[in-house]
Amino acid sequence: MSDPVSSDPRTAGGPVEQAIRAKLAEAFDPLELQVINESSMHSVPPGSESHFKIVIVSNGFAGLNLVARHRAVNQVLHFELDGGVHALSIEARTPTEWEESGGKTTDSPECLGGSKAG
């Protein structure tokens, strides 16, 4: 597996993105961590940090169902979720699940909210 931070070209980012990355790295010791700011896909001002996709692979998810994994991530990021983070997409997998998927993630759907709703 790749180094969870240095090999990902999306490691730079604003203060919220950096805080998310640091907290998840500390809490889960991930083998893979991607924090993707998807705010630009939504009806928000440029430079916003309000919509994120998290891809995290950790042995800490072994034995946990999907809901428990999401709750664990949400608990670590409670400050950000109570603040300006409006949406959080989470793909939380074990190393075995990650390998079985070939390291593939799902694409985020297009935003239909705000001024884009028809």
Query: Does the structure show a pLDDT above 50 at 22?
Result: yes
Asked whether residue 118 is assigned to any structural domain, the reply reads no
- The domain that holds 50 is classified in CATH as 3.30.300.90
Asked whether residue 9 is assigned to any structural domain, the reply reads no
Asked whether residue 115 is assigned to any structural domain, the reply reads no
pLDDT at 25: 97
How would you write the chain as a 3-class SS string? CCCCCCCCCCCCCCHHHHHHHHHHHHHHCCCEEEEEECHHHCCCCCCCCCEEEEEEECHHHCCCCHHHHHHHHHHHCHHHHHCCCCEEEEEEECHHHHHHCCCCCCCCCCCCCHHHCC
Asked whether residue 51 is assigned to any structural domain, the reply reads yes
Provide the residue range defining the domain that includes 30.
Answer: 15-103
pLDDT single digits (tens) 39-74: 777 666 666 777 789 999 999 999 999 999 999 999
Regarding predicted confidence, which is higher, 108 or 31? Answer: 31
**What's the mean pLDDT in 79-102?**
93
For all residues of the chain together, what is the average pLDDT?
83
Asked whether residue 110 is assigned to any structural domain, the reply reads no
Asked whether residue 78 is assigned to any structural domain, the reply reads yes
Asked whether residue 24 is assigned to any structural domain, the reply reads yes
Total domains, the chain: 1
Query: Does the structure show a pLDDT above 60 at 7?
Result: no
pLDDT at 44: 66
Asked whether residue 35 is assigned to any structural domain, the reply reads yes
**What's the mean pLDDT in 91-105?**
96
